[in-house]
Amino acid sequence: MELQAVLMAAGGGSRMPDLTYNTPKPMLPVGNKPLMWHPLNLLERVGFEEVIVITTKEVQKMMSTDPKMKDVKMKLDVVCIQEDGDMGTADALRHIQQKIKTDVLVVSCDLITDVALHEVVDLFRAHNATLAMLMSKAHDFTETVPGQKGKKKTGEQRDFVGVDQSGKRLLFMANEADLEDGLSIRKSIMRKHPRMHIKTGLVDAHLYCLKKAVVDFLADNKSISSIRGELLPYLVRKQFSKTTNCPKSKDDADDQTQKTADGSTNSTELLICSRDEPLLQLAQERSCWNDHRGDMSEAYHGGKLRCYVHIMDQGLCYRVNTLAAYIEANRLASKLLEEPAVHPSAVISERCQMGPDSIIGAQCQVADKTSIKRSTIGNSTTVKEKVKVTNSIIMHGVTIEEGCNIHGCVICSNAVIGRGADLKYCLVGNGQQIEAEGKHRLVSRF
């Protein structure tokens, strides 16, 4: 087996507390499908047959009852962890270390993308890389976020990503928070890669191909708890560290004790060498290929640890971890899905005006003289007459009485919007009731 897929679905959605108040983030509906359905669909389309899903008990319960999750034909091996939030992604990987038998493909549950996955995996295969990840050019979210007054907060700190001239090899990765004194780059990196492109406007898709040796390394190094925050910068730095680049005498897999002679306390060296190292070395020596030119070093500068990144400049790639991203994703979900926009079991009267961008869920009832444009309507929702819904996301089981005007809102499950209500850019929580004839603008109602 070549790759094992692991889906991280235990995240709390800390950046959109309003939405995840009642529904855990992996089960938030996007395009009328739970959020975690999208990465699972991506994996299924590409050809995976089994996925290990790391999630909480609550989500597991919801998964088993949700009909959309039954569409997933892959075998889902669900591993439950505690919900207290202390467990980082790396901790979760360590937790399932026994199940990992080969290289892993780690995906986050909030990734919605149409990337050709073979681009990332090909980098991983061809260069025998330790890490291959996916990044995308960030898109600005232009829509007004409901429930937020004032300017959009720039709460996100920038990520600095340094790539080499080909744009594939990852040389430098740091978050603004870690760079208090400024960005410093080691001389050894500059000597090996004199031309480096540093990019800041990139979104990390949290899709990583990791070698099995990395998972074993994590098992021994309990101090690393987050893949993105700690493991990745460590691996990127380690590419140029002296110890990894000097191959010690024997390359025998049994000879691990020699490798642990590292200066740092108790941490095992990352064992990159494989059993057949001599033959691979011979093939590389005889091959007339080099990944760089201009200096006297061999291919890869003799380094065994290599990190690669595939930067998408076209196509969809969203991480649904903020409200703005959630709304944007819903808007574009109709483009991603191959199903018809209107579910066959929905009852829609003829005098309803429906725009092409809208998605209507199962068992909906839409009455006469309604207008639904650029919106997503969840399952079992009732929309009465003379309602105008634009640019909104309506989740499941919502009742919208007559004459309402809803613009740019997010209305969570089982809410009831009273008759004649006028809502603009509002966020209505689960089970809330908006009184009749209410006029609200930029309000969050819980």
Partner 1 sequence: MAESGVTDGLCNTDDIERSKTEGKELTKEEKQRLRKEKKQQKKNKEKNDEKTSHEGEKKKNKKKKEEQPAGSASQPPAQPSPKAVPAPAPPPPAAAAVPVPASEAPAPADKPAKSKADLKAERASKGKKGDVGQPAPTGKLKAPPSELQPVVKRLPEHVQVDNPEVVKKLAKKLERQQIPLRSDYGYKVSLFSHLHQYSRKAPLTQQLGIPSTVIHPAIVRLGLQYSQGIVAGSNARSVALLHAFQQVIRDYTTPPNEELSRDLVNKLKPYISFLNQCRPLSASMGNAIKYIKKEISNIPSQCKEEEAKIKLLNCIERYINEKIVLAAKAIAKYSIEKISDGDVILVYGCSSLVNHILCEAFEKKRKFRVIVVDSRPRLEGREALRRLVQKGISCTYVLISAVSYILPEVSKVFLGAHALLANGYVMSRVGTSQIALVAKAFNVPVLVCCETYKFCERVQTDSFVSNELDDPDDLIVTRKGKTQLEHWQKVPSLGLLNLVYDVTPPDFVDLVITDLGMIPCTSVPVVLRVKNVDQ
Which stretch, 30-38, 242-250, 274-282, 358-366, contacts partner 1 (CB under 8 A)? Answer: 274-282
- Out of 175, 225, 243, 290, the residue judged to bind partner 1 by CB under 8 A: 290
Beta carbon nearer to partner 1, 183 or 283 = 283
The token pair at 381 is 């929702």
Report the site for partner 1 in 292-321 (rule: CB under 8 A). Answer: 293, 296
* Pair 346, 32: CB distance under 8 Å: no
The token pair at 360 is 């209507």
- Out of 66, 83, 122, 230, the residue judged to bind partner 1 by CB under 8 A: 122
* Pair 207, 220: CB distance under 8 Å: no
- Out of 118, 191, 335, 439, the residue judged to bind partner 1 by CB under 8 A: 118
Write down the least CB distance from residue 118 to partner 1, Å: 5
Which phi and psi (to 5°) does residue 371 adopt?
Answer: -130, 120
Write down the least CB distance from residue 131 to partner 1, Å: 16
Which phi and psi (to 5°) does residue 85 adopt?
Answer: 90, 5
Write down the least CB distance from residue 290 to partner 1, Å: 6
Q: Please give the helix or strand (H or E) that residue 132 lies within, else none.
A: strand 131-137
The bridge status of strand 111-113 relative to strand 317-319 is antiparallel
Q: Does 117 bind partner 1 (CB under 8 A)?
A: yes
Which stretch, 119-127, 217-225, 363-371, 418-426, contacts partner 1 (CB under 8 A)? Answer: 119-127
Beta carbon nearer to partner 1, 119 or 357 = 119
Beta carbon nearer to partner 1, 126 or 347 = 126
Q: Please give the helix or strand (H or E) that residue 308 lies within, else none.
A: strand 307-312
- Out of 96, 213, 280, 436, the residue judged to bind partner 1 by CB under 8 A: 280
CA atoms within 13 A on the CB side of 221: 21
Report the site for partner 1 in 7-46 (rule: CB under 8 A). Answer: 46
The dihedral formed by the CA atoms of 420, 16, 175 and 150, expressed in degrees to the nearest 10: 30
Query: Residue with structure tokens 């709460």?
Result: 155
Cα 239 to chain centroid, rounded: 25
Q: Does 73 bind partner 1 (CB under 8 A)?
A: no
Write down the least CB distance from residue 68 to partner 1, Å: 23
CB atoms within 10 A of CB 366: 23
Binding site for partner 1 (CB under 8 A): 1-4, 46-49, 105, 116-118, 121-122, 125-128, 276, 279-280, 282-290, 293, 296
